[in-house]
Amino acid sequence: MITLYDADRCPYCARVRITLAEKGIEYETVEVDLDDRPAWIYEKNPLGRVPVLEEEAFVLPESVVIDEYLEERYPEPALWPADAAERAFGRLLVFRFDQVSKPYYALRREEDGARERLDAELAKLNAVLAARPYLSGREYGLADISYVPWILRARDRLGVDLRPFGALAEWLERLSARPAIAAELDVVASL
Ligand SMILES: N[C@@H](CCC(=O)N[C@@H](CS)C(=O)NCC(=O)O)C(=O)O
């Protein structure tokens, strides 16, 4: 059995929740209080952060690494495209994810200019999605899963208007029809 050390409010955990749901993997959750982290979480992850995935004696932190592990260990349904170039482009987006997360967290901290910087990054994602239906390529996959928790939270928690970014807004609507993402929408609504 898989155990996910999880926190509802954590978008990194959401990446893993979505991947587990998409692959139909059964797991149990241990909710970690991020405001009062238990000492034992440092035994699972020396950085003290969630998510952490545990499968038997195997313990793995870091959302991107966990998602790659799940993709290899549970290959169906595939969440990376078969085409190597498409896969590489999706991975490049995941690799450069900080370009979006930095202004996102700056906006959460209400820093000057953060909204403009986030909008500039949303415009870049919008341009990608104007040319292809998904960040992962022709099919939905791990690049989409890597970004969607923050885009959802930007819209629903930080009040970011996605309407100026038509392709991005349509992408989010398309994704929201998937049960794994709809479940995450419920999590965000409950925060
Ligand atoms: N790079 C990590 C980041 C995980 C992360 O920052 N998680 C936050 C919650 S959203 C956390 O545990 N924060 C506690 C801390 O930073 O001390 C990942 O991708 O899993």
CA–centroid distance, residue 158 to ligand 1 (Å): 19
Write out the residue limits of the CATH 3.40.30.10 domain(s) in the chain.
2-73
Instruction: Output the pTM of the full model.
Output: 0.97
The CATH number of domain 2-73 is 3.40.30.10: yes
Query: Residue 19 — pLDDT band, cuts 50, 70, 90?
Result: very high
* Strand ordering across the sheet containing 52-55: 27-31, 2-6, 52-55, 58-61
Mean pLDDT, rounded, of the chain? 97
What percent of the chain is modeled with pLDDT above 70?
A: 100
Q: pLDDT tens across 87-132, in order? A: 999 999 999 999 999 999 999 999 999 999 999 999 999 999 999 9
Query: Residue 147 — pLDDT band, cuts 50, 70, 90?
Result: very high
Write out the residue limits of the CATH 1.20.1050.10 domain(s) in the chain.
84-178
Q: What is the DSSP letter of 57?
A: T
Domain topology for 84-178 = Glutathione S-transferase Yfyf (Class Pi); Chain A, domain 2 (1.20.1050)
Question: What is the structure's pLDDT at 139?
Answer: 95
Beta strands in the chain (DSSP E): 2-6, 27-31, 52-55, 58-61
CA distance 119 to 126: 10
Residue 64 alpha carbon, nearest atom of ligand 1: 19
Q: Is 13 a catalytic residue?
A: no
CA–centroid distance, residue 61 to ligand 1 (Å): 9
Of 10, 70, 154, 181, catalytic: 10
